[in-house]
Amino acid sequence: MPIWSAISNFKPDVLLMLGDNVYGDTEDMAVLRGKYDLLAADRGFGAIRNTVPIVAVWDDHDYGVNDGGREYPMRQESQQVFLDFFGIPAEAAVRSREGIYRQVVVGPPGRRVQFICLDTRSNRSPLEALPKAERVKGRGPYVPSDDPEATMLGDAQWAWLAEALREPADLRIVLSSIQVASIEHGYEHWGNLPAERARLLAMLRESGAAGVIVVSGDRHSAEISRIPAGDEALAYPLYDLTASSFNQPGGTRLHDEPNRHRLGERFHAANFGTIEIDWEAAAEGKPPAVTLAIRDVEGKVVRSEGILTGELEPARVP
């Protein structure tokens, strides 16, 4: 995985891993641990792991089954394997939850960043798929579900998220393994369960939480999306930085998925995303600037968007 050199040269303060961190796809935990052992043995990853804090969530393949949800029978065992690999202490509250959701808060007041780690697998209801005869190759099998009982996060995680959004923070980075903004393709995204996506956006609005940015993975391609303020009753723009994949890009085999919220073009080669925060602007009485970027295997910026944190405050929207 040559991209580790570019990530190391960027000198990140923290590495966010957004799922499919390994391809386990098994109900045998020895097999799953073996996949993590392969990742641990990679010299490039090892160099990062030994020097940079990692905040991680899982997606379907490190959860244990492709496109899987709560029906996966080994989810509790898989959870412990995931937490072991990423060094989560044995006494941590997440060890006894149904799911890997948790928050990490760093920095002093005025420079406080909250990482909100969502689990979109452990409690997610089954998705609704087209009959095989009606599917179009390359378009994805899933359609939005109108099941009023379907859930993405489960009751306990929804309650936890409501509390997390009340915590003081200057910037909130929501780690969602699947996309929030891009919902027009037929693969996995929050729009598969539209009532749950509407609940998420309503919670962001009603909480009054400022500074929310979403980061996502999954798609084997990269893009930056923005839902404008006012759309879907949002109090301020919601950015979704999708960075995927370190070493398994989709390339030209992927068609150009529709996404009305995409800024610029999709990037199909191996990539990683970066978030840079200019806290020094605050010392000059200006709102801190945030730069979202997608970088290629050599670390070169191929897409970027600049944001002033003042744009991410409900009170500033007329």
Structure tokens given for 90: 């044995």
Residues forming a β-bridge with 307: 290
Tens-place pLDDT, residues 73-112: 999 999 999 999 999 999 999 999 999 999 999 999 999 9
Query: Poorest-confidence range of 7-21, 32-46, 134-148?
Result: 134-148
**pLDDT of res. 251:** 65
Phi, psi of 251 (to 5 degrees): 65, -155
* CA 53 – CA 86 distance, rounded (Å): 10
Average model confidence (pLDDT) across the chain: 95
Tell me which H or E stretch contains 303: strand 301-308
**pLDDT of res. 254:** 57
Q: Do residues 202 and 279 make contact, with C-beta atoms less than 8 angstroms apart?
A: no
Share of the chain above pLDDT 70, in %: 97
**pLDDT of res. 318:** 42
Question: CB within 8 A of 170, min separation 6: which ones?
Answer: 107, 109, 110, 111, 112, 113, 210, 211, 288, 309
Query: Poorest-confidence range of 131-135, 223-227, 249-253, 295-299?
Result: 249-253
**pLDDT of res. 184:** 96
Q: Do residues 246 and 260 make contact, with C-beta atoms less than 8 angstroms apart?
A: no
**pLDDT of res. 138:** 82
**pLDDT of res. 253:** 55
CATH number at residue 226: 3.60.21.70
Q: What sign results for the dihedral spanned by CA atoms 110, 51, 290, 236? A: negative
Tens-place pLDDT, residues 221-253: 999 999 999 999 899 999 999 999 999 888 655
Give me the number of domains the chain comprises.
Answer: 1
Domain that holds residue 161: 3-316
The residue that leads in pLDDT, 263 or 288, is 263
Tens-place pLDDT, residues 258-268: 999 999 999 99
Question: CB within 8 A of 52, min separation 6: which ones?
Answer: 12, 13, 14, 15
* CA 92 – CA 100 distance, rounded (Å): 11
Identity of residue 294: I
